[in-house]
Amino acid sequence: MRFTAKLLAASALATFSIPAHAQASDIDALKAEIAELKAALDILSSKVEAQSQQNTQTQNEVEAVKTTAIEAKTTADNAQAVASQTSDAPFDIKWKGAPEITGKGGWSFKPRGRVQVDVATVDAPNGVNNSGLGFSNELRRVRLGAQGKIPGGFGYKIYGDIASGGFTLNDAYFDYKNNGFSVTIGHFNAYQGIEELTSSNDTSFIERAAFTDAFNFERRVGIGLAYNKGDILLQGGVFTDNNEDLNDDGNNAIGLDGRIVFAPKLGDTQLHFGASAHWRDLGDAISASRFRQRPLVHPTDVRFIDTGSISNAEEETNFGLEAAVVSGRFHAQAETHWFTVSRAGFENPTFFGGAVEAGIYLTDDRRQYKGGYFKGIKVKNPVGQGGWGALQFNVRYDRLDLNDAAIIGGTQDSYQASLIWNPVNNVRFLLNYGLLDYSDVVPALADGTDTDYSVNVLGARAQINF
């Protein structure tokens, strides 16, 4: 405004300073020029006023942005305060196959379970006198339980099977872990080898190798110590009996189990070498032991290989060797056991069991290994996310020899193949075929003389676990 006033004053000064002797025509022309100049000054003044108003508007917008930023910061501060208060909530829930509830200070609780439905058919030669052959099916396992952590490095697990219509206790223990060292007390699996310690959720075949059941590998009540650092795993424990045996007859058996594992990793290749030793005193009273096995599948009750009751058994001793490798899609595993029964007044028989297997994923997946045994895979391209899941093919040779020291339990040589499909994590379908060659078996053919023959077995399983 002051700029405009000065221009107007200059214009007026020019007007009044016109010489008196000037001609009228010249005065009129000069007045016209002054009028044009005043008009131009008016236009310039309008632009200046508009610019001033625009500057004022811009300043207002800047102030508005500042106000919005301050309000946003206040909102963020309030949200942070709310989050801080929320962190004081009693628990947090994550999903790892099932809801895992974690509380303050290290408490956690996670439900666990599995359902395995099996169908099978056993085709033996004509003349085998046993009604348990042909088609069969069962709920192989229906397990429910929970596991979790307790502040201070403690943990717990309780797990039972209801497939038989009752309740069979599996795992029921608590443990303590600190810097690679662990102590486990309760009812759990003794340290009997990689095949037995690998969960039935993750084995390469519907049933484990024959020696695991034949030699009565099972969970028992006891206390175990373990140390796992780097490539070395040491395990040892003192065990009494399986919980069912304790409840049934109060058996005072006691045993020692030990295992050592060396598991180096060479680049992408995981190696595993292990050995185990087991000794068991069967108790004060001289007991009877029995060793037998089903033909690869569990729904049938037929045992073609069976020692019958071995009387005067006092002690059992078992030595095992194990090895495994995982390299990319490929894996291989081998394990052997020599099982000796000490008898009062009789020769001591030593039975043999062993198996070797190899497998490869036909998809871009890998068998998982951790802590001395195999774990469930993580499907890279699951169904529902543009993939076909994980597909694995496996072969296995499995031998069980229950003939020694006048005990004729028979021999079983099985040649097996399996196909496993995991459409997503925690779900899988298995198809198994086995050709089993028997010698010195029970039942014999109808004439009672032919105890050497072959059996074809086909089995399938649908499984979900969490």
Question: 416-431, pLDDT tens digit by residue?
Answer: 999 999 999 999 999 9
Q: Which pLDDT does position 151 carry in this prediction?
A: 93
Q: What is the spatial distance between Cα 348 and Cα 310, in angstroms, rounded to a whole number?
A: 10
Q: Which pLDDT does position 10 carry in this prediction?
A: 41
Buried b / exposed e over 333-354, threshold 16 CB at 10 Å, is bbbbbbbbbbbeeeeebebbbb
Check if the beta carbon of residue 258 is closer than 8 Å to that of residue 236.
yes
Half-sphere exposure in the Cβ direction for 444 (13 Å, CA): 8
Q: Which pLDDT does position 288 carry in this prediction?
A: 79
Alpha helices (runs of H) in 267-359, residue ranges in sequence order: none
Per residue in 33-74, pLDDT (tens digit) is 667 766 766 776 676 566 656 655 656 665 665 666 566 556
Q: Which pLDDT does position 250 carry in this prediction?
A: 55
What Rg value do the Cα atoms of the chain yield, rounded?
42
Q: Which pLDDT does position 212 carry in this prediction?
A: 97
Q: Which residue has 């005065």 as its token pair?
A: 27
Nearest alpha carbon to residue 455 among 210, 121, 139: 121
Check if the beta carbon of residue 330 is closer than 8 Å to that of residue 366.
no
Per residue in 251-303, pLDDT (tens digit) is 678 999 999 999 999 999 999 999 999 999 998 666 779 999 999 999 998 89
Check if the beta carbon of residue 290 is closer than 8 Å to that of residue 316.
no
Does residue 299 have a cis peptide bond before it, meaning omega lies within 30 degrees of 0?
no
- Here the tokens at position 141 are 């396992």
Q: What is the spatial distance between Cα 230 and Cα 324, in angstroms, rounded to a whole number?
A: 17
Handedness of CA 72, 78, 80, 82 (dihedral sign): negative
Nearest alpha carbon to residue 200 among 187, 183, 213: 213
Q: What is the spatial distance between Cα 163 and Cα 146, in angstroms, rounded to a whole number?
A: 17
Low-confidence ranges of the chain (pLDDT < 50): 1-23, 83-84, 86
Q: Is the full-model pTM beyond 0.85? A: no
Q: 390 Cβ partners below 8 Å, 6+ apart?
A: 361, 363, 365, 377, 379, 380, 381, 420, 421, 422
Q: Which pLDDT does position 16 carry in this prediction?
A: 39
State the pairing for strand pair 287-289/265-266.
Answer: unpaired
Q: Which pLDDT does position 246 carry in this prediction?
A: 60
Nearest alpha carbon to residue 234 among 263, 195, 254: 263
Q: Which pLDDT does position 446 carry in this prediction?
A: 55
Helix (H, G, I), strand (E, B) or coil at 304: coil
Helix (H, G, I), strand (E, B) or coil at 248: helix
Q: What is the spatial distance between Cα 308 and Cα 290, in angstroms, rounded to a whole number?
A: 5
- Here the tokens at position 100 are 């895992």
Q: Which pLDDT does position 254 carry in this prediction?
A: 94
Q: Which pLDDT does position 67 carry in this prediction?
A: 65
Thinking of the domain 112-142+202-213+236-465, which architecture would CATH place it in?
Beta Barrel (2.40)
